[in-house]
Structure 1
């Protein structure tokens, strides 16, 4: 089932019990107008303050992480059935991604220490 851009704020309100006031989107959302939601596109120049620019850049930083989780972290195929299990699958994939990052940092920290000991 495909969700249209106009349904996304409604879906976010259902999932988080908070109605969004701003949405940061890519250029595919050019021309989309949703009542009560300000849509900020990447590459937009008019009316963008320093804080909004940082939020737009933050959204751009999340995109590669989601791509890595889809290709390396088994987020691409969900074997579980139902909406609750879909959410559990996404949370577990995110937790696995963070654990892999922590293990990588620990390996980089402890490898020089252990190499000097031998």
Structure 2
């Protein structure tokens, strides 16, 4: 079934404080949450769900967890565990009040990635580029060239114990 919309409640809870009232509005994650067009994200991924069955996990929560995972180099398990401890992480994921329980099972993140596919991941990446340009943390000139780190690529290195070197040495004589 389609995910529930995360809509703000019209009346405040008498004994709970809203996250936006607790947090420093100058914090980078607070500002980033305002720069991402979440309605475009929900519109893009909403069509991947059917109208039948159990309601799905909110799309903003899933996309926010993936952004946090890659920003802070976390695994699926640790990003969900740290989400409970950090009110800024909860705010960027669309929470209205601080929650003390895990938002999802970590295996849901893998299922979401399978659902959105490679095109969906590229769409999420494009939104980060748009947000980077909007906040002036990324300049348009830095997007003209791509730097590739080749330190992890396989190299054609022959070690002294390689049998092919012995064969070459013997045939060269």
Smaller-chain TM-score range? 0.3 to 0.5
Between Structure 1 and Structure 2, whose CA radius of gyration is higher?
Answer: 2
Ranked by relative contact order (alpha carbons within 8 Å, sequence separation 6 or more), the top structure is: 2
TM-score by length of 1: 0.33
TM-score by length of 2: 0.25
Structure whose residues are more often helix by fraction: 1
Structure whose residues are more often strand by fraction: 1
